[in-house]
Amino acid sequence: MSVTEEVITSEPVKTHRVAETLSRARELAIVAVILVIFAITTIKSPGFAHLTSIQQVMTNASLFTLLAVGETMVIVTRNVDLSVGSTLGISAFLVGDYFTHNAHASIVIAFLIGIGVGAFCGAAIGLIVTVTKVPSLVVSLAALYIIRGILNIIGLGIQIEPTAIPLSFQKIGFETFAGIPWIFIIPALVALGVGFSMRSFRSMRELYAIGSNPGAAQLAGVPVARRVFTAFVVSGSLAGLGGVLFLSEFATVNATAGSGYELLVVASCVIGGVAIFGGSGTVIGAALGAILLQIINQSLVVINVSPFWDSALAGALILVTVSFDRLLSNRATLALRLKGSAARGN
């Protein structure tokens, strides 16, 4: 690396290290909040601690956890993908349609169809963002409506019925392994795998460099467009996989599947410590954010509080989290600059 590249990348690297430390602290804090909410709800209603109730929380959080993993990769690069809910919906519908019209349908092919549909949607968005330089917020918002519109056209008046879905496929949505639902195990494994990759592989860690300072990353030789495109493809693929799991869980689907999911997914990421301004955050934190939102939702139901408070609390958490992250980011950047100035002065 040249002296110029070293100077350009040194501050983003230091900033990311500080952000990574803060992310770890955030993850522990979320775990603590989850345990506190669980304990308080259990005191109010002892049945909340039963295995069935815990499994329900896992099941409810599974799809949002999976979508949050892909969304994290996109947000880390200073982008956002608002199409994940629509992508999940069209994937679920097309897989359901495949089962409906094929008496001896293969579950493996069903998974490939779902993931393939999602990858195509993600690739289309990523290509437009990286080639035209149109903000991802605009592109993915347009994609949200386009994909939902297509789904409304092909799914108008059609309801995929449970009788068309093979029982062996439905079992993924309700069977457990060692008491843990399979539909939660799959997203958990994906989160662990992607989390390990983002910590260990250079190509994945470059996503943080892009989010911290796109210009510096470009000058340092990072293939920015390729990495951003890949992040959108992965996000779309996981949304497609989410559509497959959605169908296995509910065994029925129509044109409304996945509506509104994108906002809860972004909320999960932000609450989990993924900086909306890019450059920091982990998929584990995003997954914990998804679990936190779902345990809050179920706790409110258990203690007979209106479910409308769930949305209000989620919004409040987003405001507090974004404000807190912005404050910490500004202070960390200022501290690094002062330290750098002192070092140059000496």
Dump pLDDT digits (tens) for 38-53: 898 898 888 888 898 8
The rounded Cα 161 to chain-centroid distance in angstroms is 28
Structure tokens at 102: 């094929």
How far, in Å, CA of 296 to CA of 308, rounded? 12
Longest dimension (CA), the chain: 76
Residue 19 binned pLDDT confidence (cut-offs 50, 70, 90): low
Write out pLDDT tens, residues 152-205: 999 888 888 898 899 999 999 999 998 899 999 999 999 999 999 998 899 899
Write out pLDDT tens, residues 204-225: 999 999 988 888 888 888 899 9
The rounded Cα 156 to chain-centroid distance in angstroms is 29
Please say if the pLDDT value at position 6 is more than 60. no
Residue 307 binned pLDDT confidence (cut-offs 50, 70, 90): low
Summary mean pLDDT of the chain: 85
Query: What angle separates helix 107-132 from helix 224-250, to the nearest 10 degrees?
Result: 150
Residue 331 binned pLDDT confidence (cut-offs 50, 70, 90): low
Whole-number pLDDT of residue 337: 60
Domains (range + CATH), the chain: 3-338 (1.10.3470)
How far, in Å, CA of 294 to CA of 291, rounded? 5
Write out pLDDT tens, residues 76-129: 999 999 999 999 999 999 999 999 988 788 999 999 999 999 999 999 999 999
How far, in Å, CA of 331 to CA of 336, rounded? 9
Please say if the pLDDT value at position 290 is more than 80. yes
How far, in Å, CA of 209 to CA of 259, rounded? 33
Structure tokens at 88: 């999940």
User: Closest Cα to residue 62, out of 332, 253, 274, 261?
Assistant: 261
How far, in Å, CA of 286 to CA of 328, rounded? 18
pLDDT higher at 306 or 224: 224
- Whether the CB-CB separation of 205 and 217 falls below 8 Å is answered with no
